[in-house]
Amino acid sequence: MWESKINVNAVCEIRGRSTVYLGAGAIRKIGDICSVLKKTRQVSRVLVITGKNSYIKSGAWSYVARAFEVNGFDYTMYSEITPNPTVDQVDEATDLARLYGAQAIVAIGGGSPIDAAKCVAVLKEYPVRNARELFENQFSPNKAIPLVAINLTHGTGTEADRFAVVSIPEKETKPVFACDCIYPLYSIDDPALMTSLSPEQTAYVSIDALNHAIEASTTVTATPFSILLAKETIRLVAQYLPVALSNPQDLTARYYLLYASLIAGISFDNGLLHYTHALEHPLSAVRPEISHGLGLAMILPAVIKQIYPASKHILADLLSPILCGLKGESNEADIVYEGLKKWLFEMGVKPGLGSIGFALTDIEKLTNLAFNTPSLKMLLDLGPIEATHASVSNIYMDSF
Ligand SMILES: [Fe+2]
């Protein structure tokens, strides 16, 4: 394929609603970005939002600190973001942003720090509001301070979309917030920062991207554009995930998995999502130790089994790099269900919701959360078949 002709060490600029720098060494662009923020937006005080370790372990921080120094930026840092971040973390970081007078935010990490940073960027502009009000749709923001996203995983696509996901612990919900004002102004997608991802992280984040593609191509709002990007995402994940798992340092594999996750993010920014995400969010809301991608992997085969008859032509085409020989016939649903479980197992995912701590008695609660969590019912309504209490329960049941 043409991929071998691309120089993965050449940084290219991908322009959408966010400007994304893609390529090994793209982290060096942080210097140019700081310079532009200084000249065009008079930025001199920045809040860095990140997790505990990855901003250093990845090697990103030394470039960011140097860029701040060269451009005369003052900064403060909030480094308490956890996987499946909470509204309380967002509120703490927002308090710091307000107290410090942050004029821009630099997020360093995977989806968790970047999504939390998107919320802080909004709340900094609304001094009397908090994260719970944001996620429970108690106001409609339309402005945010500038956000720069330095992405450290190849899964979420959040560096180029208008979505943020944060948990509300006391309600065991994980709602989605969407707003045009939270597209990062600039994002950095540097595959050289991702070679230290563990095999599990590598698989889970790539499975997140795969799900974005499968869903964005089969919603009732899917477009030719979302389907085009989804098709390429699935091809690239099928080709390069096994390579990255066998050789984590393979920069070409990391580059194309990262590119796949970026275009999957743009795909679902256009086509939106449906069942797999609506049913996963209750899993990682109830058990925050479960990574988003692992939760998605657990329920993907059962979701496909249900929707295949309604989306058979698109799915037979798009899944062909993973499951060859599909003809787009309704009676292939069970073949696809078994085939996806086998492929996921080959990628290192142990099947079954029981393996991640759930019991059959949890199905009723999970089903209620899928319907009652703010924003998730909207996702269910975008699926290619009608979502009922029984159909959602069946997907959970089929995932044990
Ligand atoms: Fe996702």
pLDDT digit string, tens, across residues 259-312 = 999 999 999 999 999 999 999 999 999 999 999 999 999 999 999 999 999 999
- The pTM (predicted TM-score) of the whole model is 0.95
pLDDT, averaged across the chain:
96
- Domain extent listing, the chain: 2-193, 199-398
Q: How many angstroms is it from 3 CA to the middle of ligand 1?
A: 25
pLDDT score, position 215: 98
Q: Which of 54, 14, 31, 51 is nearest to 261 (CA)?
A: 14
Does the 199-398 domain belong in CATH 1.20.1090.10? yes
Percent with pLDDT over 70 in the chain: 100
Q: How many angstroms is it from 293 CA to the middle of ligand 1?
A: 7
Q: DSSP code of 108? A: E
167: three-class secondary structure by DSSP: strand
Q: How many angstroms is it from 38 CA to the middle of ligand 1?
A: 33
- 296 burial type by CB count under 10 A (0-12 exposed, 13-18 middle, 19+ buried): buried
Other Cβ atoms within 10 Å of 17 Cβ, number = 14
Q: How many angstroms is it from 281 CA to the middle of ligand 1?
A: 9
CA 186-190-192 angle, to 5 degrees, is 160
Q: How many angstroms is it from 309 CA to the middle of ligand 1?
A: 24
pLDDT score, position 146: 98
Task: Give the amino acid at 267.
Answer: S
Decide if pLDDT at 145 tops 80: yes
Q: How many angstroms is it from 152 CA to the middle of ligand 1?
A: 15
pLDDT score, position 121: 98
When mean pLDDT is compared across 153-157, 191-195, 375-379, the lowest value belongs to: 375-379
Per-residue pLDDT of 342-390, as tens digits, reads 999 999 998 899 999 999 999 999 999 999 998 899 999 999 999 999 9
Q: How many angstroms is it from 68 CA to the middle of ligand 1?
A: 31
Classify strands 45-50 and 74-78 as parallel, antiparallel or unpaired: parallel
Topology annotation, domain 2-193: Rossmann fold (3.40.50)
Instruction: Taking residues 50-79, report their average pLDDT.
Output: 96
pLDDT score, position 218: 98
pLDDT score, position 66: 98
